[in-house]
Amino acid sequence: MTQTAPLTPAAGFSREQRRALTVIVVSQTLGGAGMAAGITVGALLAQDLLGSTSLAGLPAALYTIGAALGAAVLGRVCQRFGRGPGLALGNGIAALGSAGVVAGAAARWPALLLAALFVYGAGTVTGLLARYAGADLAPPERSGRAAGTVLFAMTLGAVAGPNLIGPTGSLAHAWGIPRLAGPFLLAAAAYTAATLVLLVWLRPDPLLLAQPQKARDAVAEPGTEVHRPVRDTPGVITGAAVMITAQLVMIAVMTMTPVHMTGHGHATQAVGLVIALHVGAMFLPSPLSGLLADRIGGRRVAAAAGAVLLGAGLFAGLVPPTSATLLACALVLLGVGWNLALLGGTALITDAAPAENRAAVQGLADVGMSVAGATGGMVSGLVVGSSGYPALATAAGALALAVIPTVALSGTRRRP
């Protein structure tokens, strides 16, 4: 008997479905490189232009606020027109925002830089929304692995991006642009390529394939929308709560780690490596996390995420700031915990939301994630400025522990 590998959930699907998943994977690989730019140098770029450590969390706050708006809008676009147009629009917005960041840095105009980061964030949420497109194609017992495969596809680009700080910085410097803006040059090119891939090759649309014929016809008809109460409201609420908490914790710690490291004498390349390892841990375990969600249920996976995030926060707060190796270990643990929370929460929401308005419900759940990320990004700089990085990391880990009682009290069950 032939076994199916976790990284190929399209096996056994129709030719159209396999083709759609392949296109999404390619676009995710490109988008991952673009997403890593803001994670790696956004805080450092703002610190350079604004001259304040307390405001270094502002970029993360802005692009996560932008992501909140983007998740709401793109979820509606996907519901109305399909995944292809929605995801392509999101990548195009991210490319525009990346170009704006480069322009703002070159002109040393903080207002333009911050506005562009907002636009950039509205597009970067596309990479996370794409996981739902993977689940569109899968039977219920394989939806976790399908979503995990799409997230895994971001790993190559997301890990490569931070390690290209040096080359892209040199290119930017040669063009008379600040070195820290170099990764956003890469982001603009990567997101543009992802947009073209989706527009040209994502046919037929995975969401429209997954919808019941009646709902598909209603969505395709201009001016008509399908609305039905969510089948399992506790499942949606629990899944969203898990992802929101994990996002707040992860963004808060991750955003200030580069500032913490550079403040203790670490080189920019060392910072880039630590963030690359963290981003890899955010996405590399996705097939395994998805498999666990399919096998043992999203609730158990989400509960495990709370424990892992607690450990990551305590570890980051206690390790010596001069040890890049130990900080990297803490950030890897942080990424793994976030991944478990994301796939566990995604499984709960996908199971609970009906197909005919699933994309809109999923988009609203990701709005909550983005708002939490914005809160974490803004508060992180203030906490570090007043109490230090160890206090921030420890408090974030303690907050993550709230995931466990939330899941335990929900009483939600995965559908057969």
Segment 395-412 mean pLDDT: 82
Please tell me the distance from the alpha carbon of residue 360 to that of residue 80, in angstroms, as a whole number. Answer: 9
Please tell me the distance from the alpha carbon of residue 361 to that of residue 348, in angstroms, as a whole number. Answer: 12
**Cα of 142 vs its chain's centroid, Å:** 21
Please tell me the distance from the alpha carbon of residue 193 to that of residue 91, in angstroms, as a whole number. Answer: 9
pLDDT of residue 355: 66
Q: Are 154 and 283 in contact (CB under 8 A)?
A: yes
Q: Between 132 and 229, whose confidence is greater?
A: 132
Percent of all residues in the chain with a pLDDT value above 90, rounded to a whole number: 27
Please tell me the distance from the alpha carbon of residue 255 to that of residue 377, in angstroms, as a whole number. Answer: 6
Q: Between 353 and 239, whose confidence is greater?
A: 239
pLDDT of residue 330: 95
Q: What are phi and psi of 364, to 5 degrees?
A: -65, -35
pLDDT of residue 95: 94
pLDDT of residue 333: 96
List pLDDT tens digits, range 113-164: 888 888 988 887 888 888 888 778 677 777 788 888 888 888 777 767 667 7
pLDDT surpassing 90 at residue 63: no
Q: What is the largest CA-CA distance in the chain?
A: 62
Q: Between 378 and 315, whose confidence is greater?
A: 315
- 38 pLDDT tier (thresholds 50, 70, 90): low
Q: Between 260 and 413, whose confidence is greater?
A: 260
Ramachandran assignment for 16, one of left (phi > 0), alpha (psi -120 to 50 degrees), beta (any other):
alpha
Residues in the chain: 416
pLDDT of residue 415: 43
Alpha helices in 137-232 (DSSP H): 143-152, 154-163, 165-174, 182-201, 206-210, 213-220
pLDDT surpassing 50 at residue 362: yes
Q: Which of 121, 158, 341 is nearest to 247 (CA)?
A: 341
Please tell me the distance from the alpha carbon of residue 5 to that of residue 9, in angstroms, as a whole number. Answer: 7
CATH topology (fold) of 15-209+218-410: Growth Hormone; Chain: A; (1.20.1250)
> Mean pLDDT, the chain, as a whole number?
81
pLDDT surpassing 70 at residue 380: yes
Please tell me the distance from the alpha carbon of residue 136 to that of residue 281, in angstroms, as a whole number. Answer: 25
Q: Between 341 and 151, whose confidence is greater?
A: 341
- 316 pLDDT tier (thresholds 50, 70, 90): very high
- 335 pLDDT tier (thresholds 50, 70, 90): very high
Question: How is the chain split into domains, by residue range?
Answer: 15-209+218-410
**Calculated CA dihedral for residues 101, 102, 106, 111, nearest 10 degrees:** -10
pLDDT of residue 85: 92
Q: Between 311 and 44, whose confidence is greater?
A: 311
Q: Which of 312, 383, 338, 243 is nearest to 39 (CA)?
A: 338
List pLDDT tens digits, range 245-285: 999 999 999 988 888 898 888 887 888 888 888 988 988 89
Please tell me the distance from the alpha carbon of residue 238 to that of residue 151, in angstroms, as a whole number. Answer: 21
Segment 331-348 mean pLDDT: 94
Alpha helices in 319-388 (DSSP H): 324-352, 358-387
pLDDT surpassing 50 at residue 1: no
pLDDT of residue 37: 66
Percent of all residues in the chain with a pLDDT value above 70, rounded to a whole number: 83
List pLDDT tens digits, range 198-226: 999 888 788 877 765 434 444 444 444 44
Residue reference for tokens 């990320």 = 373
Task: Out of 230-239, 244-253, 339-348, pick the least confident.
Answer: 230-239
